[in-house]
Amino acid sequence: MLSAPGIDPKLYRDAMARYAGHVQIVTTAHEGVRRGVTITAACSVSDSPAMVLVCLNRQNEHNDIFLESGVFALNTLAAHHKGLADTFAGFTKLPAEERFAMAEWDELVTGAPALKDAIATYDCRIVDTKSVSTHNIFFGEVVGLRLGSKDQSLVYMDRSYHAI
Render pLDDT for 69-91 as a digit per residue (tens, 0 to 9).
999 999 999 999 999 999 999 99
Give the amino acid at 140. G
What distance in Å separates the CA atoms of residue 40 and residue 53, rounded to the nearest whole number? 11
Q: What is the mean pLDDT of the chain?
A: 95
Tens-digit pLDDT profile for residues 49-60: 999 999 999 999
Classify 19 as helix, strand or coil.
coil
Is residue 125 over pLDDT 70? yes
86: left (phi over 0), alpha (psi -120 to 50) or beta: alpha
CA angle 147, 70, 111 (to 5 degrees): 50
DSSP-derived letter for residue 49 is T
Closest CA to 111 of 146, 148, 59, 73: 73
What distance in Å separates the CA atoms of residue 33 and residue 97, rounded to the nearest whole number? 9
Report CA-CA distances (Å) from 134 to 58, 94, 103, 130. Answer: 6, 25, 30, 11
Mean pLDDT (whole number) for 95-109: 97
